[in-house]
């Protein structure tokens, strides 16, 4: 199985919204509601921001939201803040019994 496809970089100004896409196939993103998103700051462990496509773990601001349409999942961050600058990875269950990650997207807050 190939890694999920994410844009290498996105950017936005403070207060704006940005959306990061994650494209897979019907064998992973499109076929199951097991899409998650992780935020990774340099030198830190990844942090789960979204699970099961659109659910937020306790403590994650509601500025972060997830969605899915067909084989593409999306992470939207509204009201951008400086601390949102990080790498973001999508992840999906894939047949059979495996997890796939995307290549990662670097978010720059201008």
Partner 1 sequence: QLQLQESGPGLVKPSETLSLTCTVSGDSISGSSYYWGWIRQPPGKGLEWIGSIYYRGSTYYNPSVKSRVTISVDTSWNQFSLRLSSVTAADTAVYYCARGDLWSGYYFWGQGTLVTVSS
Binding test (CB under 8 A) with partner 1, winner from 36, 39, 71, 74: 36
**Binding string, residues 57-76; x marks residues near partner 1 by CB under 8 A:** x-------------------
Instruction: Quote the least distance from Cβ 97 to partner 1, whole Å.
Output: 5
Which residues does 105 contact at the CB level (< 8 Å), separation at least 6?
6, 7, 8, 9, 10, 20, 87, 88, 89
Q: Name which position in 9, 16, 17, 98 contacts partner 1 (CB under 8 A).
A: 98
DSSP letters of 26-82?
TTTGGG-S-EEEEEE-TTS--EEEEBTTTB--TT--TTEEEEEETTEEEEEE-S--G
Q: Residue from 18, 65, 104, 107 that binds partner 1 (CB under 8 A)?
A: 104
Indicate whether 97 belongs to the interface with partner 1 (CB under 8 A).
yes
Q: Which residues bind partner 1 (CB under 8 A)?
A: 1, 3, 32, 34, 36, 38, 40, 45-48, 50-52, 57, 89, 91, 93, 97-104
């Amino acid at each position: 199985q190939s890694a999920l496809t994410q844009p290498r970089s996105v950017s936005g100004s403070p207060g704006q919204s940005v959306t990061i896409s994650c494209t897979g196939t019907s064998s992973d993103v499109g076929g199951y509601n097991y899409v998650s998103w992780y935020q990774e700051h340099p030198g830190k462990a990844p942090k789960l921001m979204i699970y099961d496509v659109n659910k937020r773990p306790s403590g994650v601001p509601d500025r972060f939201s997830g969605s899915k349409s067909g084989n593409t999942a999306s992470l939207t961050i509204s009201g951008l803040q400086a601390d949102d600058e990080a790498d973001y990875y999508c992840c999906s269950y894939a047949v059979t019994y495996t997890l796939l990650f995307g290549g990662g997207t670097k978010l720059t807050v201008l």
